[in-house]
Amino acid sequence: MDVHVTRSHLRGTARAPPSKSYTHRALLAAGYSGGATVESPLVSADTRATARAVAAFGGSAAPAGSERGGDRPAEIPDDADALAVEGFGGRPGVPDDVIDCANSGTTMRLVTAAAALADGTSVLTGDGSLRSRPQGPLLDALGELGVRAESTRGNGQAPLVVSGPLSGGEVAIPGDVSSQYVTALLMAGAVIDEGVEVELTTDLKSAPYVDITLELLADFGVEATPVDAAGDPLDGAAGAAGFSVPGGQTYAPSGGTYAVPGDFSSISYLLGAGAVAAEPGETVRIEGARPSAQGDAAIVEVVEEMGAPVDWDREAGEIAVERADLSGVTVDVGDTPDLLPTIAALGAVADGDTRIENCEHVRYKETDRVSAMAEELGTLGAETTEESDVLTVHGSESDLAGATVDGRGDHRIVMALAVAALAAEGTTTIRGAEHVDVSFPGFFDAMADLGMDVEREGVIE
């Protein structure tokens, strides 16, 4: 689907969708349990993939209160406000069919470790993009724990074949490719009799995403502890040399329910849009912004540093932002890779240079997001310099004008380009805009409600 965005002013209130990262983990954690209700989930293409995986292992996920019958899983509507998950009690069954993870890297990595617990063979695959993403370090780690875990093409990429069951013990894994490898091992290790001791062979990047996992595990009654090089416990994942997970644990959230918080990755687009396009004298207000372990909350500080007035009422979970003349900043995204597209879009509007550092791992997402943003912003008239681990956007040399850009099949690229389009002269056409359904299905509805001049499939909103 093509979307046409014309430069416009915004005002009003939008609500952030629930967190995709938390929803993935909550659905699988509920699957590991004997059953639980996940409240306020994000229902999207990616999280449906995780729900299907839970069903493949012998559990199920359906709207709370829905009637279920027969062998077919209940359809999960976009607006489901709670999902009742029947768990597999920490012992997944061998799937009857191949597990299709679609375009969801989180699903594949977390589910690969869950599949290793089954006493038999599971096969996991996904779409073309997912089949190009690295899984080798996780496969190697599972192999250390007694599992046959292989890429069918021998290149560390899906399709994957996993034959368990998993044994506990010590395992080493790099921390600088994907924090999801660590999350997968922690979640699966808790239900093994022996538990797991995870050693990081390189520094951990995206540590806040592991903090999300630790926070959620605690809410499900599961202990997992980051440790330093001497084996002493740490308060968080940052700087950890490894993790200790006792075995034989049971997943069981208090009261049988878990509530998903709002998503700061999605909030970044709303916040950025307000900073570049709020109507003079007006604000864009964002609801659903309660504090949590999400590292992407750093976008609030980034936007403030660039010069936009931001007021975050943490207790109410509401952010208000005004438009301002932005200035370039230097940002390290080692722990917040999903913010790169948003920051790059803001940099194209700002005066001076915006330097995004420590970003090589951002190349291994749904697409190479470093090159994608450099090239698509360039189509709009932005000047950029791309290095292996740094993206610099030269805002003072950029003059954004409407053009046709490609969302690269990547939800975050689409939404970031929409932010840039609000500041571009004329109309910008974004191809593949339907991919926002991965994490923010109502994105263009929310933007239209705020005042974005957007046309979709011939309908002017």
338 included as an active-site residue = yes
Tell me how far apart the alpha carbons of residues 433 and 421 are, in angstroms, rounded to a whole number.
13
The one-digit pLDDT tens for each residue of the chain (461 residues) are 999 999 999 999 999 899 999 999 999 999 999 999 999 999 988 999 999 999 999 999 999 987 654 444 557 998 899 999 999 999 999 999 999 999 999 999 999 999 999 999 999 999 999 999 999 999 999 999 999 999 999 999 999 999 999 999 999 999 998 999 999 999 999 999 999 999 999 999 889 999 999 999 999 999 999 999 999 999 999 999 999 999 999 999 999 999 999 999 999 999 999 999 999 999 999 999 999 999 999 999 999 999 999 999 999 999 999 999 999 999 999 999 999 999 999 999 999 999 999 999 999 888 999 999 999 999 999 999 999 999 999 999 999 999 999 999 999 999 999 999 999 999 999 999 999 998 898 999 999 999 999 999 744 44
Distance CA 127, CA 369 (A): 18
Distances (CA, A) of 347 to 204, 211, 358, 386, 432: 27, 28, 16, 14, 23
Q: What is the structure's pLDDT at 378?
A: 98
In the DSSP assignment, the letter for residue 297 is G
Residue 15 and residue 21: Cα distance in Å, rounded? Answer: 17
**Range 3-17+262-460 classified under CATH 3.30.565.10:** no
Catalytic residue (choose from 338, 353, 410, 437): 338
Q: What is the pTM of this model?
A: 0.82
φ and ψ at residue 334, rounded to 5 degrees: -55, -35
Evaluate whether the domain defined by 20-259 bears CATH number 3.65.10.10. Answer: yes
What pairs with residue 427 in β-bridges? 6
**What are the strands, taking DSSP E only, across 182-241?**
196-200, 225-227
Domain 3-17+262-460 and domain 20-259 have a common topology: yes
- Per-domain residue ranges for the chain? 3-17+262-460, 20-259
